Every structure is written in structure tokens, then in C-alpha cells.
Chain A
Amino acid sequence: MDIQAWTWGIVGFTFTLYIGIAIWSRASSTGEFYVAGKGVHPIANGLATAADWMSAASFISMAGLISFSGYDGSVYLMGWTGGYVLLALLLAPYLRKFGKFTVPDFIGDRYYSDIARVVAVVCALIISFTYVAGQMRGVGLVFSRFLEVNINTGVIIGMFIVLFYAVLGGMKGITYTQVAQYCVLIFAFMVPAIFISIQMTGNPIPQLGFGSSTDGVYLLDKLDGLHRELGFHEYTSGNKSKIDMFFITGALMVGTAGLPHVIVRFFTVKKVSDARKSAGWALLFIAILYTTAPAIAVFARINMIETVSNKKYTELPNWFSNWEKTGLISFDDKNNDGLVQYVENEEVNELTIDKDIMVLANPEIAYLPNWVIALVAAGGLAAALSTAAGLLLVISSSISHDIIKKIVNPKISEKGELVAARLSAVIAVIIAGWFGINPPGFVAATVALAFGLAAASFFPAIVLGIFYKRMNKEGAIAGMAVGMFLMLYYMMRFKFGWFGGGTKDDWWFGVSPEGFGTFAMFVNFVVSLIIASFTPKPPKEVQEIVDNIRIPLGTNEAQIH
């Protein structure tokens, strides 16, 4: 069977599975729609959180990013896993004890203010929309390459699938589809990795494989050697400054802990101890992919260099021309010698490769069987769809619950709210699809913005709300607003060139826009604490809420509404 037949078969099977699960587990109340009725088993929630969290970026782009940046790529590995330690230790158990539906719920109640609630809703919406645009692009990319349909058609197919199971199933449907999607994506990620690891090193465990040797030379030493030859910086040592590494890792960690679609997953378990447990399981399931990604990065980098470097263009394998068609690889024979020169020096280099294709092309580069290649396509789709669904749910609950129910029309009936939730989900899918078809040029930049904003706005407000009883609404609102605007300003100035723009040399303390979230977070903390010390204490009931969320006892005594 050829690749396309396999891909249609496997993708068709997984899509049927997702829809089947959605029908079986559709939501019938707002409680089920927003938080799956708070009855999800911690391991199931760990699986769902892992799929929710691991997006098209983790599955498709991350190994490629590391492959091209070597040690510098460590910021993604540490940043996107270390955030779970913060989540498990500082946020998840307490937010579960608080026991409402959304992150703005917590901010609004803890800071006894609708202004705080609205600020939180705005942050949640900006973060979720910027993030979901990237997922839809991922869906389009996979469809266009493997199924040879138009990117837009791919996005529309993806929209319909998500629309169907997110709108019908709500959080309950999403949870169990995400469990299935995790299984699909991890299988799809691991199978080629194991194959290639055996091929290159004889070791079936990729995590050990990339530290072992081939023909008597350690793989990493060999790669460092290749890099030196071609003029790239050594793979195992970095190019970025230490301070920037530090700040980027920080922004990704804290941003991860502050992402509303991840936090809300911990509202779906039965009790506080289950929230802790599911954070542990989630990180374990995520770590399987995240510790394999750097191995794939090394295998792919060596394979790629050895396949193309100084080889005749006309004799390159099939995958090369397949990817050329998508425009993601391009070759320009500058010196007309018919050979591919792939080097650091821009003037001599003849090959440009989009980082996004490393994972997708890797099985082809390594000559793996067709079904493995098809499996990778299904895995990429699972990763993108599961994250998109989680984000859409945050968007819809922000609108129907935080805005309509809590502010505009508190008297809305349960049924009316459920209809509003489903309608907002439909609108959110359409907007997300529109972004997927007309991707704003700044998608890559805005993902960094999403993390920066989460770090600069939510994280300090939530942590202070739990750990500092004296924290009041004045401090929290000022902190969130200052953090958010500072982050937006820096991002617009250095990414979009507004407010006079600037280059690397103008960065504050040498911190890149990607790492600036850490800085803005510190500013948020300082502003919050100073303002709070000049303004009145929070009311007694609020202090009691804080006392109450600090202990696990009595989780389900609180009323659902």
C-alpha cells in the first residue's frame, strides 16, 4: 500500500474513534460541559492533560527546533516540563479546592471584583486565540503534505471534527477524546523514534540511543564534528547568552503553569489529592515525548546532513522532492556545481529547510515503512486537534460563564447557559478556522506572546491569591494590568517594530521578547505587593476563602454553583 492509502486509513480510523467517543460521552449539564462533572479519574486526567498540553508545536515543531538549535533548544525541554512542577506544587491542588469552573472565576472571587474578572477573561481570550491559530495551521500542514489536499480544505476538515466533538461533548467529551488522542500521538511519536534508534545505534531506547556510539564514535561527538566542518556552532554547546537562556526557560515554565486550558483540566477531578496526582501523571506522560524529542533531533540532524550534504541534487531521495513541492525545503544551486552545499555561511549555503518538517520527514529520511509515515500524520493531527479542543473550551466558557452568566445576565437558566456555551464554541471554532486559513504572519511570535502573557498576568495573581492572604484587589488588578501591558509593549516593539522598534542591542538587560515574560512577571509581583501594602486588607470572607483552599478537607461540600 502506498503512503496515501495508509494515511487515509489511519487518519480515518482515528477520526471515527474521536467522534464515537464524543457521542458516547456528550455533556448534558453546564457542570459536565465546563468541568466534566468533576468526576475524572486522576490517571485519565493525566492522559487528557498531556494531550491537551502537547500541541502541534510539541509534536511537529519541537524536535525540529532542537535539531536546528542544539543545546539552545533545551529552553523548550526544561521550560515546557518544569512548569508542571509549579502547577502541581503551587496551583493545581488549591484551585481544585476552590472548586469553580474557570480561571477568571478564581480571580474574580478571590479579588472580589468584576474588574479583576474581566481583566482575567481578556487575558484568557488573548492567550487562547493566539495559541489556537497555530494548531489550525498544524492541521492544514499535515493534511496538505500527506493527503495532498489543499491546506484550506485540511483546515476545514479539522474544524468540523473539533466542532463536532467539542460542541457536543464539552469538557466531558473532550476529556475522553484526549485520552484516545494521547495514545495515538505517543504511539506515533515513539514508533519511528525506536526504529531509527535501533537503525543508528542498535539501542531500542532513544533516550539512551543518542548517547551511545555508532562505528566506535559517540553520536553526539560525531554531530559536533559535522557541525564544525560545515561552520555551524557546536551542537552540544549554545549560541544564546546565559541570561537569555535563563529568562526564556523561566517564561516558558511560568507560562505553562499559567495557561488557562491546562489549569482548567485540574478542575475536572474529584478531590484535591487527585489534582496533585493527575499533575504527576500528566508530567510523566509528557516526559515520554519530551525526553524522546532531543534524541529524534540528533538522529534527524545526522541523517539529514549525511543524506544531503555535498550530494548530487539529481540523486537525492524521493522525500526531498515531495517536500520541495510544499515549499518547505528549497534548493538554490548558487555555484552551479549540481551539489548541495549546506553550510552556516549564508552566501555559500544553498539549502533552506523549514524546521517544522523534521519530525514529519524523519521517517521518510530513515526509509521507514509506509505505515509508520502514515502514523506520524495521524499523530500530528491528534496533537493539534486535542490542544485546539481544549483551547476552544476555555474560549467558550470564558464567554458563556465568565461574561454572560457572571456579569451580563446572572439570571440565565442552566439550559440557556448551556446553549450559550455551545454557541460560543461554534463561533470560536469559526474564528480559529479563519486564522488557520489566513494565518497572521505573526503566528510564531504570538505563541511566545501567549506564554509571556500567561506568565506576566495570571501566574502572580493566582500564586499571591493562594500564598499571601493580605493580597487585595487593588494590588492584583494593578499587577495584572502592568504585567500585561509591559509584555504587550515589549513584544510589539521588538517583534512588530512598533514604538520605534529596535534590535538585539536595544533589548533590556539582553533579554529577548521570548524571555521577557519572566521579567514582566517579576514586575507584576513587585507592583502587586507594593500597591497591596498601601491599600485596605481584603474583606474577612475572602480571607476565609484563602484559609479554606489551603486545606484539602471538605472539597465537595461547597455548592456547585
Chain B
Amino acid sequence: MDKEYQKKYWKNNLKYLAILLSIWFLVSYVFGILLVDTLNKIKIGGFKLGFWFAQQGSIYVFVILIFVYIKLMNKLDKKYNLEE
């Protein structure tokens, strides 16, 4: 198989990883830990926002991130004809 072609596929994959992992880092480490005190000043219903991200929000985002990755990669596999 064409090496250049595979390289392009891999680069594209790495780009997706960089974007999704930045969001992963943002919702947990940044919202849930580093900025928690600032976000706690905002309240949504009975939840302080920082606390909510640490105990609820980050987990919801994690689930969404994986399913977005599945979608993106299935498309990418198809585009490069690398599906099984």
C-alpha cells in the first residue's frame, strides 16, 4: 500500500486526537480542578458549576467524546478505504 497515503491518514487521526484530548483535559483538569473556585460562583439549579463539572459534567463529556471519535474515525476509514 502507498506509504504517503497511510501517512496522511495517520496525520488526520493525530489531529482528531489532539482536538478531542484538549476537550478531555479542559472539562476535567481545567473546569473540574484548576478553575473550580471561579466556576463555583456560577450556580445552575442547586449545583455550583465547578462542582457539577467535577462530579457530573466531565463524565457526560467523556462519553460524548468517545462516540464523536468513533464517528470521525469510521468516516476517515471509509475515505481512505482502510475499513475492514
Chain A contacts of B20 at CB under 8 A?
A: 85, 89
User: Given known contacts A78-B54, A221-B46, A553-B83, is B67 in contact with A280 (CB within 8 Å)?
Assistant: yes
Identify the closest chain A residue to B80 (Cβ).
A551
Whole-angstrom distance from the CB of B28 to the nearest CB of chain A? 5
Whole-angstrom distance from the CB of B82 to the nearest CB of chain A? 4
Give the CA-CA distance A218 to B52 in the complex, in Å. Answer: 14
Contact B32 A78 (CB under 8 A): yes
Contact A271 B84 (CB under 8 A): yes
Whole-angstrom distance from the CB of B58 to the nearest CB of chain A? 5
How many residues does chain A have at the interface if contact means C-beta atoms less than 8 Å apart? Answer: 53
- Per DSSP, chain B at the interface is helix
- A279 on the B face (CB < 8 A): yes
Of A84, A273, A283, A551, most B-chain CB atoms within 10 Å = A551
List residues 70-104 of chain A with CB under 8 A from any CB of chain B: 71, 73-74, 77-78, 81-82, 84-85, 88-90, 93
Contact B59 A85 (CB under 8 A): no
Identify the closest chain B residue to A554 (Cβ).
B84
Give the CA-CA distance A276 to B9 in the complex, in Å. Answer: 17
Q: Which of A81, A207, A236, A294 contacts B62 (CB 8 A)?
A: A81
How many residues does chain B have at the interface if contact means C-beta atoms less than 8 Å apart? Answer: 45
Contact A284 B63 (CB under 8 A): yes
Chain A contacts of B40 at CB under 8 A?
A: 236-237
Interface string of A537-561 (1 = CB under 8 A from B): 0000000000100111111100000
Whole-angstrom distance from the CB of A122 to the nearest CB of chain B? 30
List residues 259-280 of chain A with CB under 8 A from any CB of chain B: 271-273, 276-277, 279-280
User: Given known contacts A77-B59, A294-B55, is B66 in contact with A88 (CB within 8 Å)?
Assistant: yes
Chain B contacts of A273 at CB under 8 A?
A: 70, 73-74, 77, 83-84
Q: Which of A236, A272, A279 contacts B51 (CB 8 A)?
A: A236
- A330 on the B face (CB < 8 A): no
- A290 on the B face (CB < 8 A): yes
Chain A contacts of B60 at CB under 8 A?
A: 287, 291
List residues 25-84 of chain B with CB under 8 A from any CB of chain A: 28-29, 32-34, 36-37, 40, 44-48, 51-52, 54-56, 58-60, 62-63, 65-67, 69-70, 73-74, 77, 81-84
> Footprint of A on B, CB under 8 Å?
1, 3, 6, 9-10, 13, 17, 20-21, 24, 28-29, 32-34, 36-37, 40, 44-48, 51-52, 54-56, 58-60, 62-63, 65-67, 69-70, 73-74, 77, 81-84
> Footprint of B on A, CB under 8 Å?
66, 71, 73-74, 77-78, 81-82, 84-85, 88-90, 93, 207, 210-213, 218-221, 236-238, 242, 245-246, 249-250, 253, 271-273, 276-277, 279-280, 283-284, 287, 290-291, 294, 547, 550-556
